Structure 1
Amino acid sequence: MGSILSRDNSAVVPDLPDEIIRSEILTRLPVKSVVRFRCVCKSWNSLLSGDPDFIKSHLTLYSMNLNNGALICRCIPHAQSDDPLTSRFQLGGSVHGLVCVYNYDRDASSSISCIGLWNPAINHYKNIPIPPSARSTCIQSKHNFRLGIGFDPITNDYKVVYITMKPDHPFVADVYSCNAGSWAKTSAKSTFLSRGEPFPNPTIVHGRPYWYNDFAGKYYVMFFDVQEEVFRSLPGIGFINKLKKQKIMVNLRETLAFMYYNNFNHSFRSVDFYVFNERCGIWTKNYTVGPIIMPERMYFDLCNCFLSGDLLFGSRNQLKLVSFSSETHAVNNLDSHVYFFDSCRRWYLPFVGIYGYTESLVSVQGMNAIHVDKAGVDILIIEKSL
């Protein structure tokens, strides 16, 4: 073991053991720093580039800090192409830093023209074949299917679920397994009927995609059990019907939650958080924040919340993003915390698909390093203000 020497050649600080550096320091650093340290030496390059134990440890320890939780969303579209990363693509969710992207085409013989998994932090991408249900039936509307992504911790498998919706018929789902590298029909038929308005994009909590929808004025929440590959519903959702407020389903500290609010021009009287207790199987009101006074009397929309519970607001007319701390009630400007993949630095509200996102080193079989044309990719990553 070496040491750092003072001017008189006396040892003052011993070198840290390699194991401490690997397990206690490198595993807690941002991905950009880890990637940069690959060039230190060959052993570090081997460790940081593909060691599964290190990647898993980094994912666990880095994501434990809720302040590392960011948001990812789509903004202004550019010209169409057959590549989901340079086209008018959609987001289907994010798990462990992997982002599901897809593109739909109403004029084609399938509902979607391409699907992929992308890790923006390390720029690795995997193309996924079109699911059989999308190829066999011509779905003329983007509202007749939904895509989601999940993680099965038992088999360590990332899965993409493609849901086909036909009015008054049960949902039908194809599931793509990254381990198997193929699509398969779900073994159990869904008991949920496709009714009412198309449900919004999923909210991902603990690697499971959740959706909510209303039919005849009644709301329900369902999720896709990634391990068993079946749809399930959550009980006790009746309280939603009684609340005459706007709502957004969110991931609050890795717990499924709803934000309820009424906005009045430049201020919000309050935002109520209702969370689902999995152990008891009930919804409870967790806490309320507010009143929230926006700066400069601009009109803001409530967009989502960070994993930590801080709220994200966006101004339509001024193209401005701010966060509101649920603990200190401070309003923070996020202009310096937004990472644009669009070199034009343009975006608009409302965002199209906004999800929780935590950067990682995770890569799945078949992923390859790619060069992303930032001028053609229409997403932005919003980091939490500390």
Structure 2
Amino acid sequence: MTEYQGTEANNLKSETIMELPEQIIRYEIFTRLPVKSLVRFKSVCKSWLSLLSDPKFAKEHYHISAMLNPNEYDCLLALKCQTKLVSLTRLEETRIVPLDRHNSRQQYELIGSIHGLVCLRQDKELWLWNPAIHQSKEFTLPRAHTHGWRKPSRDYFGFGFDHVSNDYKVVLLSTSYERMSSAYVYSYNSDAWSPLIVPDYFCPEYVFPFPCEREVSIVKDCPYWTLYCRNWSDEFVVLKHLKFEIGSNEFRLLPEFQWKSGKFTTLVNMMDRPSLMDYEQNSGNISVDVYSLDEENGVWSKMYSVGPIANYGLRRNLSQGFKYGGEIVFEAGGMFSYYDQETDRIIPIPGESCFSAASCYRYTPSLVYLEGMTVDTP
């Protein structure tokens, strides 16, 4: 190598990424990198720490990276055995930070996931947690609920995001055997719970609504529930679907779906619309009809049908669908699979076997940080 060539090589080496204009680093490089790499880059220098901790950049990265690499960020989040949180892609299952801060035997409830933030509950404690950056905020159930004289039969939660006020919210719906219902909403911005009005149409003629844990979904940052209303005298069941309008803090009943007794339905998010997987089973096969709701016109329309496919003891375990492609995902024995319409095959997702798994929610890793979060995990 000549002296000139050696000098030129040294000059090229000295032109590192840190010497590039900030606009190039921010928009052309960092927005295209995975979250895991950016978290490591925070320790490189103070300027990068400041940039990568900027809430505006976190939002930019979240939206741009999802558009540039839709399949890479098309993940689901699930809670296995109520103690293990995993993310799912079509190729693999990945264990997220173990949930063992207090007691690994304590059971958790996965309430939902929005913008890379995960909402978890354990008894009276709740967390809003970003596992990618290991930051979380802990809060507790409303005092009026935990110290009330009437013990509810069961609590049901939903997680949402208010785009107008830029506020993450958790809604709590409680039902009791005394024909009473109550509801509260938690605002992250105010760090407080507020009581909600439970509407009169909320199954007044029945003893109590009985939603299934697997039938809570999040669509466009609003929570949805399926309600089974049972009459004690004749065992008659009515199926209703409820939405919580996250901006106005109001419950809204969705248009009626023509449900037949003896069939099963699972409310999911398919193609960013509230959708129902309506299915029935026999000894060997399962057939699924997927319906989508046009909320503006109040009409349920069939999207497509699947099956008959082999029934591996699915029962009520249809879980969700990937955002890009809409494949049906289901769980059996703690293992997840998805149905590929193009090949007409059930494809297992490699992972750790477990006794059971809870509902799936859409999940995209992010750098989103909220004021008040600390370096802590549930």
TM-score (norm 1): 0.76
Deviates more, 1:88-97 or 1:62-71: 62-71
Code of the residue aligned with 1:206 in structure 2: it is K
**CA–CA distance in structure 1, aligned partners of residues 261 and 301 of structure 2:** 13
**Aligned pair partner of 2:55 in 46, 49, 52:** 52
For the Cα contact (< 8 Å) 2:113–2:362, is it kept in 1?
yes
Q: Distance in 2 between matches of 1:263 and 1:25?
A: 50
1:91 alignment partner AA: L
Return closer, same or farther for 1:346/1:292 CA change in 2, 3 Å cut-off.
closer
Paired residues of 1:167 and 1:193 also in contact (CA < 8 A)? no
In structure 1, runs of 5+ residues without a counterpart are: 1-5, 105-112, 339-344, 373-386
2:368 aligned with 1:362: yes
Given that 1:323 and 1:334 are in contact with CA atoms closer than 8 Å, whether structure 2 keeps it comes out as yes
CA deviation after TM superposition for structure 1 residue 9, in Å: 4.9
> Could you tell me the TM-score, scaled by structure 2's length?
0.77
User: 2:217 aligned with 1:198, yes or no?
Assistant: no
Does the aligned pair in 2 maintain the 1:160–1:177 contact within 8 Å?
Answer: yes
Q: In structure 1, how many angstroms separate the alpha carbons of the residues matched to 2:156 and 2:313?
A: 31
Aligned to 1:347: 354
Distance in 2 between residues matched to 1:91 and 1:370, nearest whole Å: 18
**Letter of the structure 2 residue corresponding to residue 250 of structure 1:** V
Matched, 1:247 2:265: yes
User: Where do residues 1-386 of structure 1 align in structure 2 (5 Å cutoff)?
Assistant: 9=8, 18-48=22-52, 50-64=53-67, 66-67=70-71, 68-77=73-82, 83=102, 87-104=106-123, 113-138=124-149, 140=151, 143-167=153-177, 169=179, 171-186=181-196, 188-191=197-200, 192-193=202-203, 195-196=207-208, 198-201=210-213, 202-215=216-229, 216-235=236-255, 237-239=256-258, 241-242=259-260, 244-263=262-281, 267-268=285-286, 270-292=287-309, 302-308=318-324, 309-316=326-333, 320-335=335-350, 338=351, 345-349=352-356, 351-370=357-376
Q: CA-to-partner distance for each residue in 1:311-355, whole Å, 9 max, x for gaps?
A: 223343xx64322223454543321xx5xxxxxx55223x23332
Question: 1:228 deviation in Å?
Answer: 0.7
CA RMSD of aligned residues (A): 3.4
Using the aligned pairs only, state the percent identity: 33
Q: Report SS of the residue matched to 1:45.
A: helix
**CA gap 1:307/1:166 in 2 versus in 1, 3 angstroms:** same
Deviation (angstroms), 1:55: 0.8
**1:157 and 1:178 in contact (8 A); partners too:** yes
- Alpha carbons of structure 1 residues 52 and 170: separation in structure 2 relative to 1, 3 Å: same
| Alignment partners' CA distance in 2, 1:17 and 1:30 | 21
CA contact (8 A) 1:203 1:249 kept: yes
Q: Does the 8 Å CA contact 2:158/2:223 hold for their aligned counterparts?
A: yes
Letter paired with 1:287: Y
Q: Cα deviation per residue 1:213-246 (whole Å; 9 max; x = unaligned)?
A: 12232211111111111111112x232x237532
After the TM superposition, which of the residue ranges 321-330 and 210-219 deviates more from structure 2? 321-330
Separation (CA, whole Å) in 2 of partners of 1:283 and 1:135? 38
Q: Which amino acid aligns with 2:112?
A: G
C-alpha distance in 2, partners of 1:70/1:227? 26
- Counting matched residue pairs gives 339
SS of equivalent residue, structure 1 residue 179: coil
Q: Bigger shift: 59-68 or 356-365?
A: 59-68
Write the distance in 2 (CA, Å) between the matches of 1:226 and 1:161: 9
In structure 2, the CA distance between the partners of 1:278 and 1:197, relative to structure 1 (3 Å rule), is closer
Distance 1:279 1:267, change over 3 A: same
* SS of match in other structure, 1:369: coil
The DSSP-based 3-state class of the residue aligned with 2:228 is: strand
Structure 2 gap ranges (5+): 84-98, 230-235
Partners of 2:369 and 2:254 in 1: how far apart? 32
One-letter identity of the residue aligned with 1:98? L
Change (3 A) 1:229 1:302: closer
Asked whether the equivalents of residues 82 and 109 of structure 2 are also in contact (C-alpha less than 8 Å), the reply is no
Q: Is 2:244–2:252's contact at 8 Å kept on the other side of the alignment?
A: yes
Counterpart-to-counterpart distance in 2, 1:178 and 1:162: 14
- Structure ID, larger Rg: 2
Q: Tell me the CA shift for residue 66 of structure 1.
A: 4.8
Match of 2:369, SS?
coil
Tell me whether 210-219 or 258-267 shows the greater mean CA deviation: 258-267
Deviations 1:66-98 (A, max 9, x none): 5323222222256x9994887211111222222
Q: Deviations over 1:79-124 (max 9, x none)?
A: x9994887211111222222221123xxxxxxxx212211222221
Q: How far apart, in 2, do the equivalents of 1:119 and 1:84 lie?
A: 20
